[in-house]
Structure 1
Amino acid sequence: MRINTNVGALTASRNAFVNNIATENSMRKLSSGLRISRAADDAAGLAVASKLRTQSRSLSQAAANAEQGNAMLQIAEGAAQTIQRIIERQKELITQKLNATSSTSTTTTINAEIASLATEASRIQSAATFQGMAVFAALSFQVGDGDGASVNQVAVTATLTQTPLSGTSTLADADTALDAVNEVLSNIGAGQNVLDYTVQNLKSAVVNVRAAESTIRDVDMAEEMATFTRNNILTQAAQAMLSQANQGSQGVLQLLR
């Protein structure tokens, strides 16, 4: 029997240390809900999970961009519809003025209203802005997490180029102005449809990317709890054996009596 080196106690102490570290790791994972709560848990997995998190955040912003773009187009649509109604009224006035029963005074009044409506249409067009930007323009919305414009951007031609009507305008001029407004409304509607589908696709992509990240970063609580219970029992057993190993050395005293 040897007392200078208690191999049993050293072995039990080493096992208690290892089991205690494993128990602490399980506690950290269970309390955080993360399988990778530090780089040492899975360095390669952490790199992949970080890339997925970055991608999901970029896709979420792309979805927000598309939603803001749709809001911008709604402002343009509302303004264009108002201008359309103004031109319709102007055409109505031109038709009235061309009638043989219209007197000089009536014509003068009609021309004044046409001019007033033209001024308001121009004002509405220039005042239609979103965060200080003109909504009647060639618009481009970033809706992807890459740099390729052809893949990650949605372009909408919302330029309104109708000619303001005046007292000398004809019915043909009014029709031309209406065609211009109808064209921009058509472009706006097409752009809104594209952005609606884009938002749906982006939100679906965000869910899928986050789910992929979860499989790498998040802990399986049931499995980790089983691991924690096992390690906790082993730690207690190692401590008990360490106590027994220390008591074993007391047997030497029996030989000295």
Structure 2
Amino acid sequence: MVIQHNMAATNSYRQLNTNNTSLNKNLEKLSSGFRINRAADDAAGLAISEAMRSKINGLDQAQANANDAIGLIQTEEGALTETHSMLQRMTTLATQAANGTYNTTSRDSIQKELDELGNEINRIANNTDYNDIKPLAQSREEGQVDSMTMQIGATKGETLKLKGQDMTVSGIFKDLDKIKVADDGTANAAKGQISTASALAKVKEMAGTSTTAQNNAVEKIQVKALESAGYVKVTANVSGMASAGTYVKAENLNADGSASTSTSVTPKTDGTAAAEFGSNTALKTAYNRQLDAYDGVRATDMSAKDKYDGAEYLQIGAETDADPTERANQVVSNIQKAINHVSDYRAELGAKQNRLEHTINNLAVTSENTTAAESRIRDTDMAKEIAAYQKNNILSQAAQSMLSQANQSGQGVLSLLR
């Protein structure tokens, strides 16, 4: 018999610690519901589970993104529904104007409603907004509108592109455009853009056969380009300064109409453009944009309405030399092309919405299946863990009891001392 080392007690104590450690792990798993609470529980399982969680989060957010995209599409669709309705009303009005029983006054009244409907189409397009995105508006930059890339998956490349379209009056009549020129005036066949020189030739062609009409059209385009670039007309002559009738930057114009600089631009009246429209980058851009904006308008239309915003295609009485019935029927034809243009874009929106609905269904199923797989790896099997807990609880209590018994075994030495 020895008393320095009670091996039975030491063994019981070690078993008690082991059982208590196992019991604590059982309690942790039962209280958290997870089989893996730390990397030590299952290092490989933890790595796989975290990767799956990342994917699940991405899939769930992709569903939200796709729903947001549908919301954007529905916002556009709602606006274009009313645009279609107004175009149908315009068709009715133009057909009404084609009737020979209407005089000039009556047609002017019809024209007023056409103009107001056009203004409302512009207002709807420019103010249709989804989280500060205006997919139907014409932006100030080269007529481009907002384009969106929708992230509809959990990984890079799972995207859907939704390009906005200019649905102002100018935009819906763009299929009637006869002039397309880039800001720098360089021809680009891929984009259907012609050079500045070719655009100028088309302007003259559409202005009519009269040289005076052609020259007036070109001069007016130069004036509009100057105005859009921030130039104003000098109205007073001062020796050594810019001459009256020329154009200077607004900040160089004095209160009396004179200029504080001799540097000015003079719009040419001979059917050519001033040299500054080729040498000054800002003026070149403004000039080419005005050439582009001319698009199909006749010289007589310009004189009557002076519009370059697509409204020229809705003028039922702009040409005094034209048969009113013929002109009104041309407007009907123009509106039909606009209706087709809006219909094409709405069809594209509808197709993308249908695609997104299928995308959402697929994302939901994938997320569900991935979640189930992650659950099998990480979640606690409660029945199994409770059984293990009961076992370890009994073993812990037994080890505690045996440690108490082992601690009493040394008492037998005292009987030898009696």
Equivalent residue number for residue 212 of structure 1: 373
Q: Which has the larger displacement, 99-108 or 173-182?
A: 99-108
What CA RMSD, in Å, does the superposition of the two structures yield over aligned residues? 1.3
Cα separation, 2, equivalents of 1:132 and 1:22 = 58
2:21 aligned partner: 21
Structure 1 equivalent of residue 38 of structure 2: 38
Structure 1: distance between partners of 2:27 and 2:347: 60
Higher share in helix: 1
Worse overlay, 43-52 or 172-181:
43-52
Aligned length: 254
Residue 36 of structure 1 aligns to a residue whose secondary structure is coil
Structure 1 ranges of 4+ moved more than 6 A: none
Q: Which residue of 2 aligns with 1:101?
A: 101
Instruction: Supply the distance in 1 between the matched residues of 2:24 and 2:125 (Cα, whole angstroms).
Output: 66
Cα distance in 2 between the residues matched to 1:138 and 1:194: 18
Cα deviation, residue 138, structure 1: 4.1
Measured after TM superposition, the shift of residue 187 of structure 1 is 0.3
Alignment pair present for 1:123 and 2:271? no
Q: 1:49-73: CA deviations, max 9, x gaps?
A: 1111111001111111100000000
Give the AA of the match of 1:196: E
Asked whether 1:178 is paired with 2:324, we answer: no
Cα displacement string for residues 68-125 of structure 1 (whole angstroms, at most 9, x for unaligned residues): 0000000111111110111110110000001011122211110000001001001111
1:154 and 2:154 matched: no
Any conservation in 2 of the 1:157–1:188 contact (CA below 8 Å)?
no
TM-score by length of 1: 0.95
Whole-angstrom distance in 1 between the partners of 2:407 and 2:112? 110
Instruction: Name the structure 1 match of 2:411.
Output: 250
Note the alpha carbon deviations across 1:29-57, whole angstroms, 9 max, x for none: 11111111222211221111111111100
**Matches of 1:139 and 1:179 in 2, distance apart?**
24
Is 1:166 the equivalent of 2:314? yes
Q: Does 1:112 align with 2:115?
A: no
In structure 1, distance between residues paired with 2:53 and 2:106: 69
Amino acid at match of 1:21: T
SS at match of 1:34: coil
**Aligned-partner Cα distance in 1 for 2:400–2:132:** 71
2:153 matched to 1:144?
Answer: yes
Question: Secondary structure, in 3 states, of the residue corresponding to 1:133?
Answer: coil
Secondary structure at the counterpart of residue 314 of structure 2: coil
Question: What's the CA shift for 1:203?
Answer: 1.0
One-letter amino acid of the counterpart of residue 143, structure 1:
I
Mapped partners of 1:80, 1:34: distance in 2? 52
Q: Is the 8 A contact 1:156 1:187 kept in 2?
A: no
Work out the CA distance in 2 between the residues paired with 1:8 and 1:54: 51
Secondary structure in 2 matching 1:134: coil
- The aligned amino acid for 1:254 is S
| CA-CA distance at 1:207 after TM superposition | 0.9
Q: What one-letter code is carried by the residue in structure 2 that aligns with 1:167?
A: Q
Q: In structure 2, what is the Cα distance between the partners aligned to 1:77 and 1:182? A: 10
CA distance in 2, matches of 1:228, 1:32: 14
- Identity, in percent, stands at 38
2:137 aligned with 1:132, yes or no?
no
Q: Structure 2 CA distance, aligned partners of 1:129 and 1:203? A: 28
Letter in 2 for 1:25: K
